[in-house]
Amino acid sequence: MIQLAEKLKALSDPTRLRVLRLLDHGELCVCDLMEGLDLPQSKVSRHMSFLKNAGWVQSQRKGKWVYYSLAHSDDNIQAAMQRILCELLPDRDEAKEDYARLLAFLKTKKADSCSTDG
């Protein structure tokens, strides 16, 4: 029960719920999350640390960036909550705005990458 309470506590912050919505898109680096959330790196990193410690996200370092994705859990309660959140969060206005910012940034990022590739 203590672990479940910690997992639920991690979801008590609106920014962390916004993060889960963005990560439903797939693996994202801190810079992607910064753009989507319109927050500085220090705040994003603090929220990611909290979510990671609670078991909601996992991370992987690639070069100088840390990439995050939704964690896969064997805990039935966490898995069910994650499914529900991923289903319902996209309908929230703030989540829609975050996701639109993220997609615009990723489109620009991809275009810049393609233009420098040759």
Position of tokens 């499914």?
83
The 10s digit of each residue's pLDDT in 48-58 is 999 999 999 99
The 10s digit of each residue's pLDDT in 30-72 is 999 999 999 999 999 999 999 999 999 999 999 888 899 999 9
| The CATH fold of domain 2-75+87-102 | Arc Repressor Mutant, subunit A (1.10.10)
Q: What is the DSSP letter of 89?
A: G
Maximum Cα interatomic distance, the chain, rounded to a whole number of Å: 55
Total Cβ atoms within 10 A of residue 51: 25
Q: Are 24 and 13 in contact (CB under 8 A)?
A: no
What is the domain partition of the chain in residue ranges? Answer: 2-75+87-102
pTM: 0.88
Q: Are 115 and 53 in contact (CB under 8 A)?
A: no
